[in-house]
Amino acid sequence: AALVRHTIHALSSLAQLDVLPQRALPHRIERPASVSARCKDEVAVLRAVAEKLGFSRYAQELMADLFLDYAHLAGAWAETPEALTAAIFLFAEINCIDLTHITELYRVFGSDQKNVDAAAARMRGRLGCVSFDPRYLGEEGFVTMLYAVVNGK
């Protein structure tokens, strides 16, 4: 209840909701349905791991969108253990969720930190991701964004 009251207070009196200027908003990626069909198994595994990490169904959906958008643009590059792990870490980064303390996450899909970091950089560059990217912004990220705006960060 206190978080809700604080969020309403931030929205009504403190927040400046021009976090991303209109010109800086990333464009939506139109992907064919065949990408979802091609990556069905990868998305199922991604959702299962995200659920174990405690992500909501909505966050899992956004994470799957992030991965599928990358799969559409990158093709075979996306169908690797590194890309699956990178999707989780990039989604967390966009939403200001710190997963760096979960070091075993790198090994869940059979990868290592160096390769995952490289895959996340490729993914970020190919998709043009920015902090608080509205395409992949979940509930936690939205609330964090409000705090960042209010506190001028």
Tens of pLDDT along 92-139? 999 999 998 898 998 888 889 999 999 999 999 999 998 889 999 998
What DSSP assignment string belongs to 90-145? HHHHHTT---TT-TTHHHHTT--HHHHHHHHHHHHHHHT--TT-TTS--HHHHHHH
Which pLDDT belongs to residue 42? 94
Tens of pLDDT along 131-150? 889 999 998 888 888 777 65
pLDDT > 90 in the chain, percent = 56
First to last CA, the chain: 25
Residue 130 Cα distances to 5, 24, 37, 79, 94, angstroms: 28, 9, 27, 23, 7
pTM for the structure as a whole: 0.81
